Amino acid sequence: MPAESMLHFTGRESATLFVWVPETEGSVKIETNSETHVTQTVQKPNGEEADVLWGRSLKLTAPGIWEITLTASDDSADPVTFTIHAEGDAYPFVIPGPGIVPSHFPIPKPTLLFATKGEATVWVDVPEDLSLLTIGAWVPVQSKGFVQLPDETQLQLSWKPDQGSSSRVAEVETQGRSGWWSLHTEAPSNPFRWTVWEGLPMFLRRPPKRFPYARILCTATDEEGKSMDARFRLFRNGKLTMFRDEFANTPCILHVLPGISVVQVSHGMEFERASEVVSLAQGGTKVLPICLRRILHTEPGWVCGDHHIHSYFEDGGESPEKIVRAARAEGLDYMFITDEPEPLLDYGLDRWCEAGKFLALPGQEIATEKVHMNVLNARRSVGKASSEIGDWLKEVRTQSTPEHPTAIMLNHPSHMSGAEERYAYFRSWWVADEHDQLVLVENYDFPSWFERLNQGRKLVGLWTTDGHDITFLPPGKKRTYVFVGDEFDERTMMEALLQGRCFNTRYPGAWLTLTVNEAMIGETARPDEEGMLMVVVNCEATQPIESVELIADGQVVDVWHGEGSLRLTAKIRLQSGMRWVSARAFVDERGWEADGHSMEPLMASGCIAFTNPVWVERDQASTVR
Ligand SMILES: [Zn+2]
Ligand SMILES: [Zn+2]
């Protein structure tokens, strides 16, 4: 068989190239024009190591999957371009992993990029029991792409989003079309990321027979045996190769390479992640029931949500359905996709909306150079006709109905140096100052918030993900817990939100509540006859608690130390006279990866959870004092 396939790709840090030898033997030759020192390790199908030298042919003498790991030396950050030649019964492939990896987030860099010029082609064996193929690529909007199905019909790809950043996806239904597909895209002039989310091998050369996928059939239950929505992630040699967000009562099917993989199952920060090592033969199947243990104990009447997520209708990287699945797998009770309401409603976002269970709600981020604001639960576009904030507020009020109450939130204002200088829309606290009807504000700096609370402004603080990529920043990675009481629907949730009956937390996760003379967060406490307040703070965390701070009128008035414990309950009697009281929690975060938006002011503050204020009634006497 002639040397027929040559493809370049770029490795940073360490990249894995697989070679499948279906029956007999073959060879691969890897060349590089780079000066960077790169080491290669080769693992044979039986797990033993083989030697290889640059520019020499590597004989692949046994059938099965060979694994070549290329590691660039530490002192060089330069990307390295490889050329791969394969001959005989040898079929190289890569699995670049899921996610769009948007360029504007400081999150893990992809290790594999394609560097083909002109048109790029790969081959993927689509299994019978797969329903959707999600092709992701860093290509310009107008790039042509198509797939050729096993019956040789061709389907054009329609890339989304059709605006904004260069990360794009195209989804193609696969049911009834199993077999070898070829994927084609117009390649940009730079090395570019190209992947299939579902983690199927992308072959650089078309093999002569079907690929011997192994399968993992995985389910998640809670400790009582009840089936749960969950995220299932598959790692190979420490690298994420695929994930699925699956609804309860639907087994998750993972199509994996023969050999050793690690499956990780999760259901938000409230449950411990479970990991299993799985070893599979070619064509083998493993049934894997996983039980998830609760590690954060929530109280009745509270629901959690995320108020700022983007889909591919704007500059996010996924369909609304993928976002809904991710939000449910993360254990959220509600979420807003904040692109534009009409396309989201036309798409059928309402399908996943059921009062008492889960709410998938439309919203909109209105963005000008000077300000970003999120409209929550709008059913029609706001702000198209006017750039006046006063008009937006009015339009949001007009749209509000008892069935679909609306609200508007000021996004990411910051007077923190670093953020402030970057874009005018970070310097947007003036919006809250000029519009006293504004109640909700997200992802801000504490000092500016405290200053306004001290002036008596009841600004409710939220922590949102502003997610554009569910792989690395899933909905609810930062989340708001809202107290709705016995009934959970759009009305009770929005009411609680606007009253500030909520606290915020982020991974690795903490529960944090506060009462003052039995008034809860968002309510107003009345001092007792002696003018005293009994403050009770309750914190539970998934990591050892370092400290919990009690804040009154912006000043830290007490600090309790967790001393390595996961729970902390503290009580203190305070003299009244302040306007408001709130709490913040800090934990030992060693072992937790930093993620996108780490420069965002609330993240930079270091706390893991914070409450909205309990307001304190101020009588004549205390005001005088
Ligand atoms: Zn924004
Ligand atoms: Zn946004």
Both 308 and 275 in one domain: the answer is: no
Both 483 and 582 in one domain: the answer is: no
Whether the ω angle into residue 320 lies within 30 degrees of 0, i.e. cis, is: no
Residues sharing a CB contact under 8 Å with residue 549, sequence separation 6 or more, in sequence order: 556, 558, 559, 583, 584, 585, 586
Among 486, 506, 526, identify where a domain stops: 506
Q: Model confidence over 303-324: pLDDT tens digits? A: 999 999 999 999 888 999 999 9
Q: Which residue has the tokens 């909306």?
A: 353
Total domains present in the chain: 4
- What confidence score (pLDDT) does residue 108 get? 56
Both 492 and 513 in one domain: the answer is: no
Q: Model confidence over 405-450: pLDDT tens digits? A: 999 999 999 877 776 677 888 899 999 999 999 999 999 999 999 9
Report the mean per-residue pLDDT for the chain.
91
Both 530 and 551 in one domain: the answer is: yes
Distance 204 CA to ligand 2 centre (A): 37
Distance 157 CA to ligand 2 centre (A): 26
Both 441 and 516 in one domain: the answer is: no
pLDDT, greater one: 166 or 332: 332
What's the pLDDT band for 393 if we cut at 50, 70, 90?
Answer: very high
Distance 431 CA to ligand 2 centre (A): 17
Q: Which residues of 61-76 are buried (b: 16+ CB within 10 A; e: fewer)?
A: eebbbbbbebbbeeee
Distance 336 CA to ligand 1 centre (A): 14
Mean pLDDT of 489-518: 97
Residue 572 forms part of a structural domain: yes
Q: Model confidence over 529-563: pLDDT tens digits? A: 999 999 999 999 999 999 999 999 999 999 999 99
What's the pLDDT band for 522 if we cut at 50, 70, 90?
Answer: very high
Mean pLDDT of 392-403: 95
Residue 518 forms part of a structural domain: yes
Residue 208 forms part of a structural domain: no
pLDDT, greater one: 266 or 383: 266
- Burial group, residue 570, by CB count within 10 angstroms (0-12, 13-18, 19+): middle
Q: Model confidence over 453-480: pLDDT tens digits? A: 999 999 999 999 999 889 988 999 999 9
Pair 563, 570: CB distance under 8 Å: no
26 DSSP β-pair partners: 60, 88
Strands 334-337 and 302-309: what pairing?
parallel
Both 339 and 432 in one domain: the answer is: yes
Among 143, 168, 203, identify where a domain stops: 203
Both 338 and 465 in one domain: the answer is: yes
Residue 310 forms part of a structural domain: yes
Distance 598 CA to ligand 1 centre (A): 15
Distance 412 CA to ligand 2 centre (A): 9
Both 300 and 274 in one domain: the answer is: no
Pair 183, 174: CB distance under 8 Å: no
Distance 624 CA to ligand 1 centre (A): 42
Distance 413 CA to ligand 2 centre (A): 12
Residue 209 forms part of a structural domain: no
Distance 341 CA to ligand 1 centre (A): 16
- What confidence score (pLDDT) does residue 416 get? 76
Does pTM surpass 0.75? yes
Both 272 and 416 in one domain: the answer is: no
CATH number at residue 275: 2.60.40.10
- What confidence score (pLDDT) does residue 50 get? 87
What's the pLDDT band for 3 if we cut at 50, 70, 90?
Answer: very low
Range in 33-37, 197-201, 289-293 with the lowest mean pLDDT: 33-37
- CA dist., res. 552 & res. 178, Å (int): 63
Q: Percent of the chain scored above 70 by pLDDT?
A: 93
The ligand whose atoms approach the alpha carbon of 307 most closely is: 2
Both 416 and 540 in one domain: the answer is: no
Distance 514 CA to ligand 2 centre (A): 30
- CA dist., res. 603 & res. 583, Å (int): 16
Q: Is 581 helix (H, G, I), strand (E, B) or coil?
A: strand
Quote the domain boundaries for residue 44: 6-203
Residue 1 forms part of a structural domain: no
- What confidence score (pLDDT) does residue 517 get? 98
Both 246 and 98 in one domain: the answer is: no
What does R_g of the chain's alpha carbons equal in angstroms? 27
Distance 201 CA to ligand 2 centre (A): 33
Residue 548 forms part of a structural domain: yes
- What confidence score (pLDDT) does residue 91 get? 96
- CA dist., res. 67 & res. 580, Å (int): 60
Both 125 and 260 in one domain: the answer is: no
C-alpha atoms less than 13 angstroms from C-alpha of 271 in its C-beta half-sphere: 24
What's the pLDDT band for 4 if we cut at 50, 70, 90?
Answer: very low
Distance 470 CA to ligand 1 centre (A): 17
The ligand whose atoms approach the alpha carbon of 338 most closely is: 2
Q: What residues does the ion ligand 2 have nearby, CB within 5 Å?
A: 365, 466
Q: Model confidence over 71-126: pLDDT tens digits? A: 877 665 567 888 899 999 999 999 999 987 654 554 456 778 888 878 899 999 99
Distance 524 CA to ligand 1 centre (A): 32
- What confidence score (pLDDT) does residue 163 get? 80
Residue 230 forms part of a structural domain: yes
Distance 462 CA to ligand 1 centre (A): 14
Q: Which residue has the tokens 């040397």?
A: 3
Among 241, 275, 291, identify where a domain stops: 291
CATH number at residue 361: 3.20.20.140
- What confidence score (pLDDT) does residue 600 get? 75
Pair 478, 464: CB distance under 8 Å: yes
Above 80 in pLDDT, residue 613? yes
